[in-house]
Amino acid sequence: MRRLLELIVVLLMLTAAVPAVAVQPDEVLADAALEARARALSKELRCMVCQNQSIDDSDAPLARDLRVLVRERLQAGDGDREVVDFLVARYGEFVLLKPRFSLRTALLWLGPAAFIAIGVLVLLVLVRRRPPSGLAAAEPAALTPAEQARLSEILARRQP
């Protein structure tokens, strides 16, 4: 039993040590500086097929095509910003894993803060409207003389 447990632990450790790299050897540039820039850019760009992965992590054919395109643009002399602008012009803002702040993406960036602020305001209004708790709130209001007379009459009828 102990050997089986050791085997499972070793297998789990081996699977955790294997990095998930989608970049194929034929895609890697000879220039280490250009390759580092290409990898950094690839981590910022969304795979249009997987949608929750960068093109650096995705094995999809379209992600491969985008990785190759990024490397071609870098070899042609484009700067990082020019490569990103080219891809945004071709595929739209969706290609960015972290969209830029603009009028079109304002709700995406400001929405969570607005919802939190609205929630805090609603809580404040509810807390202020709630009657105060404690001993002062527990004391009943004094009865008017007419109410006191009516109460005495009802109590008198109930007494045998």
Q: Worst-scoring range by mean pLDDT, 12-16, 41-45, 129-133, 135-139?
A: 135-139
Q: Which of 33, 35, 29, 61 is nearest to 48 (CA)?
A: 61
Listed by start position, the domains of the chain span 2-95, 106-158
pLDDT of 58 higher than 70:
yes
**Which tokens hold the place of 91?**
């595929």
Q: Distance of alpha carbon 121 from its chain centroid, rounded?
A: 23
Q: Return d(Cα 54, Cα 59) in angstroms, integer.
A: 10
Q: Return d(Cα 93, Cα 45) in angstroms, integer.
A: 10
Mean of pLDDT over the chain? 81
Q: Return d(Cα 85, Cα 90) in angstroms, integer.
A: 9
* Residues 72/61, Cβ–Cβ less than 8 Å: no
Three-state DSSP class for 11?
helix
pLDDT-based confidence at residue 1 (cuts at 50, 70, 90): confident
How confident is the model over 140-152, as a mean pLDDT? 88
- CATH entry, 2-95, from 1.10.10.10, 1.10.101.10, 3.40.50.300, 1.10.8.640: 1.10.8.640
pLDDT-based confidence at residue 33 (cuts at 50, 70, 90): confident
pLDDT one-digit tens code per residue, 69-99: 888 888 888 888 998 899 888 888 888 888 7
* Residues 89/78, Cβ–Cβ less than 8 Å: no
Residue whose token pair is 């500086």: 33
> 6 or 10: which carries more pLDDT confidence?
6
pLDDT of 129 higher than 80:
yes
How confident is the model over 42-69, as a mean pLDDT? 84
54 phi/psi in degrees, rounded to 5: -80, 165
* Residues 50/94, Cβ–Cβ less than 8 Å: no
